[in-house]
């Protein structure tokens, strides 16, 4: 018995079946869902569609080469569903899952059963992945004598091509590898890079945002997280766009900055870590704070 029809479970079932073992593969979707999977397909990728490098000089490239020689179903399906990705093995996730499902369910030694397993199989393989159902997690925890089973991760969003502004993007290969131009790159200008990634400061009075007094939101120029509202903008006379409060406390991160032999408080975008400026305690009411920002680190979105 193999529990979990993900990547590992499909592979385990296939490997056993190919060696003459009769396997029952249990997959709980779609009867019980996980917080991340979207379909009821076997081996559904939930995040990146890349299996990383195919180059033999990397550990993951070598592992894939070895798996291929062992007759891996995951790699057969990945090769079949491959999309351009430079030196990386990237796949069309729908075609990949379909290819795994088609072969696994067609194998005469594999029976696929839909439904949640809530007890540990014996003998069996548990391959329920990072999003193991709550009931089975309990049982695994009890068997191992630990309550510390946890999984935390972020998930990469899938972006629709028509939602992208291609005038701000260029195509290129990644790290100059592979012949194609398979990756979309969103570059910063030299001045944005200097400020946001190298914590530089733009020249005072250089930003058109300094004198801008329309209604709207100032978002991070790198990741578009809203950072400041025009409602808190004031004319500080310093030559840099100034605000007395961020739009939300949690959207900015503040850090002690001891550079240039002073102690200042640095302000960063909480989402992408871009440096945006400093905050001082000589601002106007009601907060008494002055968020002194670099205009190039912000983009203004006019209120419709
Ligand atoms: C939010 C998030 C982001 C991730 N980002 C990445 C990434 O960018 N790159 C990367 O390589 N990996 C990423 N991963 C890890 C990724 O999930 C694994 O690489 C891969 O899916 C693990 O394969 P698996 O077979 O172990 O688990 P899964 O593919 O998740 O398969 C486990 C299967 O078991 C089933 N199952 C769970 N409990 C039960 C039960 N009690 N009974 C029956 N079936 C059950 C589930 O429905 C699922 O189909 C991410 C995972 C998550 C959750
Ligand atoms: Zn940002």
Distance 154 CA to ligand 1 centre (A): 13
At residue 273, does pLDDT exceed 90?
A: yes
Nearest atom in ligand 1 to 10's CA: 25
Helices (H) and strands (E) in the chain, counts: 6, 18
| Residue with CA at minimum distance from ligand 1 atom 26 | 129
Tens digit of pLDDT for each residue in 109-145?
999 999 999 999 999 999 999 999 999 999 999 999 9
Nearest atom in ligand 1 to 44's CA: 29
Pocket flag, ligand 1, residue 93 (CB < 6 Å): no
**14, 43, 46: residue to mutate for ligand 1 pocket, most atoms within 8 A of CB:** 46
Pocket flag, ligand 1, residue 127 (CB < 6 Å): yes
Q: Cβ neighbours of residue 60 under 8 Å, at least 6 residues apart? A: 51, 52, 53
Q: Among 179, 198, 178, which Cα is nearest to 188's?
A: 198
pTM score of the predicted model:
0.71
Tell me how far apart the alpha carbons of residues 140 and 143 are, in angstroms, rounded to a whole number: 5
Cis amide leading into 123 (omega within 30): yes
Q: Across the chain, what does the average pLDDT equal?
A: 94
Tens digit of pLDDT for each residue in 209-264?
999 999 999 999 999 999 999 999 999 999 999 999 999 999 999 999 998 889 99
């Amino acid at each position: 018995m193999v529990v979990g029809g993900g990547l590992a479970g499909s592979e385990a079932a296939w490997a056993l079946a190919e060696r003459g073992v009769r396997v029952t593969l249990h997959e709980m979707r779609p009867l019980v869902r996980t917080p991340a999977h979207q379909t009821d397909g076997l081996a559904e990728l939930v995040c990146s569609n890349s299996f990383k490098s195919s180059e033999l000089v990397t550990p993951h490239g070598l592992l894939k080469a070895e798996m291929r020689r062992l007759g891996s179903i995951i790699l057969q399906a990945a090769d079949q569903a491959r999309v351009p990705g430079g030196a990386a093995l990237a796949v069309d996730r729908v075609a990949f899952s379909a290819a795994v499902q088609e072969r696994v369910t067609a194998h005469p030694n594999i029976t696929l059963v839909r439904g949640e397993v809530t007890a540990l199989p014996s003998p069996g393989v548990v391959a329920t992945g990072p999003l193991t159902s709550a009931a089975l997690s309990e049982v695994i925890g009890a068997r191992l004598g630990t309550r510390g089973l946890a999984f935390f991760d972020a998930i990469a969003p899938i972006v629709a091509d028509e939602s992208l502004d291609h005038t701000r993007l260029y195509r290129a290969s990644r790290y100059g590898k592979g012949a194609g131009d398979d990756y979309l790159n969103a570059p910063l200008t030299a001045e944005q890079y200097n400020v946001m990634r190298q914590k530089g400061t733009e020249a005072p009075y250089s930003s058109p945002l300094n004198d801008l007094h329309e209604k709207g939101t100032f978002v991070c120029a790198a990741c578009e997280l809203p950072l400041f509202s025009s409602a808190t903008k004031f004319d500080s006379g310093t030559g840099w766009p100034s605000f007395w409060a961020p739009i939300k406390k949690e959207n900015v991160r503040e850090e002690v900055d001891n550079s240039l032999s002073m102690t200042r408080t640095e302000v960063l975008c909480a989402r992408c870590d871009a440096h945006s400026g400093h905050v001082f305690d000589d601002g106007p009411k009601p907060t008494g704070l002055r968020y002194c920002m670099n205009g190039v680190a912000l983009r203004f979105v006019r209120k419709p």
